[in-house]
Amino acid sequence: MRITSQAMVRSALQNLQANMNRLSELQDKASSQRAINRPSDDPIATASAIRVKGEQRALDQYQRNIDDGNGWMATVESSLASVTQLMNRVRDLTVQGANDGAMSPDAKEAIAVELESLRDELLAKANSTYQGRTVFAGNSDAGVAFDAVPPYGFSGTASDSVQRRIDANTTVRVDADGSSVFGTGTDPESDEVSVFALIDTIAAELRAGVNVSERIAQIDTRMGAIREQQAVVGARQAQLQHAEETNMDRSVSLEAQRSGIEDVDLARVILDLQVQQNTYQAALAVTSRVLQPTLMDFLR
């Protein structure tokens, strides 16, 4: 076959160009640390990368939801714990007040006053907020769950609940229903009577000299409802904690997937890059030697 210097120059250029191309691809990979820089590099892996990143973003968001839910739950839980203590004290005072044989009206008045201050403390606990939201009044925006004055109106709706999404299919309730914890009734004889109205009734009866031993049972009923809510809140907290752990595991495995799809195998890329650089330099050196001489150099 006939070979001319022009044909040689052309093919040398093409080969150098191809070498440069491969070098630049490898350099792209090595410097960006990404195996896929555009969809055509690996169309299937691109789609997988988009999906995995979507899942990662969703998982991050679930984690934020869980953190927020934990804040709510912690507020609810500490409120309920204080409420239980307060209720214990209310019960002690009521039992004390029920022994009215040996008690002067002054002593009863002292009990009634303490009961009223306990009622105010209970009200404050019932109106606990987390980031400006009342944790016992569902989705209400009234600012308080229970009015501070009789008949202690409840601003929430029993059926409303505050939910936090912890994964694609599950939501967890993070508030507590104020109406079932504290009661909303105004009739002092019913079991549904609100704890505030009940305490008011007990204080009034103490002052009026009526025996309050009947009320102990009502207090017990209310304390039962509070403990029930505490148990429910505890169970939900456990659920959140479990979801957090699951999310953590899932996030690790998703990150491994993403890295497997997107990240370059650094050792291999660097090795390839080194090999390619050597090839390119060799090509340059050979080309410069081959292209120079012609017969002109040797004739005179």
Partner 1 sequence: MSTFSGINTAYSALVAARAGIDVVGQNVANVNTEGYTRQRLSTSSIGPADAVGLFSGGVSAGLGVSIDGIARLGNVYLDARVRTASATAGYLQVRSEAMRTLEDSLGEPGSGGLSAQLQEFWAAWQDLSNHAGEPTAEALLLAQAGVLTDRIHGLYQAAESQWSEVRSRLGSMIGELNDAAARVADLNARIRKTVATGGSINELLDQRELLTTTIASLTGGTVRDLGDGTVEVLIGGNAIVSGDSARQLRIVGATELAGAAGAPVQVEWSNRPGHPVALDGGSIAGAIAMLAPADGTGTGGAIAEAAAAYDDFAARLADQVNTVHRNGATTGGDTGLDFFEFSAGLPPALGITVKPVDGSGIAAGAAGSGPRDGSIADALAGLGVGPDSLDDSWAAFVSKIGVAARTELQQSGLAQTASAAAGSAKLSSASVSMDEESVSLMTYQIAYQGAARVLSAIDEILDTLINRTGMVGR
Shortest distance in whole angstroms from residue 39 CB to partner 1: 3
Helices 266-291, 5-32: crossing angle, 10 deg rounding: 160
* Using rule CB under 8 A, residue 207 touches partner 1: no
Q: How far is CA 155 from CA 135, 140, 181, 288, in A?
A: 12, 6, 14, 88
Chain centre to alpha carbon of residue 128: 21
- SS3 label, residue 159: coil
User: Minimum distance between the CB of residue 168 and partner 1, rounded to whole angstroms?
Assistant: 5
3-state helix, strand, coil in the chain (%, to 5): 70, 5, 25
Name which of 70 and 221 has its Cβ closer to partner 1: 70
Residue window 279-298: x/- pattern of binding to partner 1, with contact defined by CB under 8 A = ---------------xxx--
Which residues pair with residue 172 across a beta bridge?
A: 164
94-131: string of b/e by CB count within 10 Å (b at 16+)?
bebbbebeebeeeebeebbebbeebbebbbebbbbebe
User: What is the distance, to the nearest Å, from the Cα of residue 178 to the centroid of all Cα atoms in its chain?
Assistant: 23
- Closer residue to partner 1, CB minimum distance, 212 or 240: 240
| Per CB under 8 A, 133 contacts partner 1 | yes
User: Largest Cα–Cα distance in the chain?
Assistant: 142
Residues in contact with partner 1, shown as a per-residue x/- string from 147 to 186 under the rule CB under 8 A: ---------xx--x-xxxx--x--x---------------
According to the binding rule CB under 8 A, does residue 49 interact with partner 1? yes
Rule CB under 8 A: is residue 65 a binding residue for partner 1? yes
CB-wise, 20 or 113, nearer to partner 1?
Answer: 20
Q: Which parts of this chain interact with partner 1 (CB under 8 A)?
A: 1-7, 10-11, 14, 36, 38-44, 46-47, 49-51, 53-54, 57-58, 60-61, 64-65, 68, 131-133, 138-141, 156-157, 160, 162-165, 168, 171, 262, 294-296, 299
